[in-house]
Amino acid sequence: MTIYETEMTISETIFAPAHSPLDIAVLVLPRASILEVASVLDPLRNANRHLGQQGFRWRVVSPDGAAVPLTCGIELPALGPLARAEGADVLIVVAGYNQSETATRPLIAGLRRMAPRFRAIGAVDAGPWVLARAGLLDGHRATVHWEDLEDFATAHPRIDVVPDRFVISRNRFTAGGAAPAADLMLHLIGARCGAALAGQVAASFQYEAQTDGARPQRPGMLPMAHDPRLAAALAMMNAHLEDPLPLAAIARAQGLGLRRMEQLFRENLGQGPAAAYLDLRLQTARRMVIDTRHSLREVALRCGFVDPTGFSRAFRRRFGASPRQVRGKTSGV
């Protein structure tokens, strides 16, 4: 289970048995994911259903008080701007793409000003970036979506950044994405209302919760990777994109010969390990080209391409356009 830091007493934490309703304000930023919002709110709604009363109350607020455009094209109604979070016990920030633009200076200032009024403050996916910019995670352990871990740790050295699914650090909590957010909310429900209720909520969604927040986020575990050796090989590849490992070393770590690993990849993925490794590196590069402001040279290096020309050539073969062209098409989107 998640370890609480010693200075948080059981009477102070929201993650403790309680009979009074917990009032939660959810600040949703434009271009957040509807799945992340649902992962926060639907477990609470379902918990109330099973309780037969309001163990949890919530309100949605937005930066300007208007409906929030989500990544799927749906607009999420909001009660009002951040000021309408006043009086809540907890504030949770849900953010996704372009948080650096949608979290404006006035919003950051408002978060900093209002922070002492909440018993706890949390964030989901890119939300930790917003809290960090407000200085609200300094001196805390925190996580962020796995795609941002390295950049987040570099940008905020006063935060103890860990690759966990979710983290609780005194009166701060963070989750790395939609599924970890659901795990976190089930943990909150279980802590306040009992493990049996949390189990009922998880069963309602046919969801197998990961109750241990300290489990690492595991990118790249493809659904078809049923063989544990294949899954472990893919995990090794994902962990070594910047400094690609020899295929022989990956095979040896799984107790396989190169020929057997080749067969395993082709049977399950329809391609050999070398092609799969290259595809993982290129897919990561494409994400960084679109979602970050790193120079194309830095993107190439982070994905294991020492030669920028070779990187551009491989990228074009895979995606039909150069990294520069892809960035140009998606800038401002």
Each domain of the chain, given as residue ranges in start order, spans 22-204, 228-330
Residues 252-310: tens digit of each pLDDT: 999 999 999 999 999 888 889 999 999 999 988 988 898 788 899 999 999 999 999 99
Query: What is the model's pLDDT at position 315?
Result: 94
CATH number 3.20.20.10 given to 22-204: no
> Does residue 228 contact residue 201 with C-beta atoms inside 8 Å?
no
- Per-residue pLDDT, 100: 83
Handedness of CA 158, 218, 302, 327 (dihedral sign): negative
pLDDT for residue 1: 41
Tell me the per-residue pLDDT of 72-87, one tens digit each, with 9 for 90 and over. Answer: 999 999 999 999 999 9
Whether 332 has a pLDDT exceeding 80, the answer reads: no
pLDDT score recorded for residue 213:
56
Mean pLDDT across 38-43: 97
- Please give the pLDDT value at position 10: 35
The yes-or-no answer to whether 22-204 and 228-330 have a common fold is no
DSSP for residue 194: -
Would you call 216 helix, strand, or coil by DSSP? Answer: strand
Q: Is residue 330 very low, low, confident or very high in pLDDT (cuts 50, 70, 90)?
A: low
Amino acid 215: pLDDT: 63
pLDDT at 288: 86
pLDDT of 293: 83
Instruction: With H, G, I as helix, E, B as strand and everything else as coil, classify residue 303.
Output: coil
Q: What is the pLDDT of residue 120?
A: 98
Alpha-carbon torsion, ordered 186, 188, 189, 190, to 10 deg: 80
Confidence of residue 5 (pLDDT cuts 50, 70, 90): very low
The band of 7, judged by pLDDT with boundaries at 50, 70 and 90, is very low
Write the pLDDT tens digit of every residue in 176-224.
999 999 999 999 999 999 999 999 999 988 887 665 656 666 544 454 5
Tens digit of each residue's pLDDT (9 = 90 or more) over 115-144: 999 999 999 999 999 999 999 999 999 999
- 3-class state of residue 7 by DSSP: coil
- Which tens digits make up the pLDDT trace of 157-168? 999 999 899 999
pTM score, whole prediction: 0.74
**pLDDT, tens only, 54-108:** 999 999 999 999 999 999 999 999 999 999 999 999 999 999 988 888 899 999 9
Residue 174 has a pLDDT of 98
* Percent residues over pLDDT 90 in the chain: 71
Select the CATH number that applies to the domain covering 228-330 from these four: 1.10.287.110, 1.10.10.60, 3.40.50.300, 2.30.30.100: 1.10.10.60
Residue 93 makes CB contacts below 8 A (sequence gap 6+) with 27, 29, 111, 121, 122, 123, 124, 127, 130, 131
Q: What is the pLDDT of residue 2?
A: 44
Between the two ends of the chain, the Cα-to-Cα distance in Å is 40
What does the pLDDT average to over 213-240?
A: 72
Q: Quote the CA–CA distance of 232 and 248 in Å, as a whole number.
A: 14
Task: Compute the average pLDDT of residues 229-248.
Answer: 91
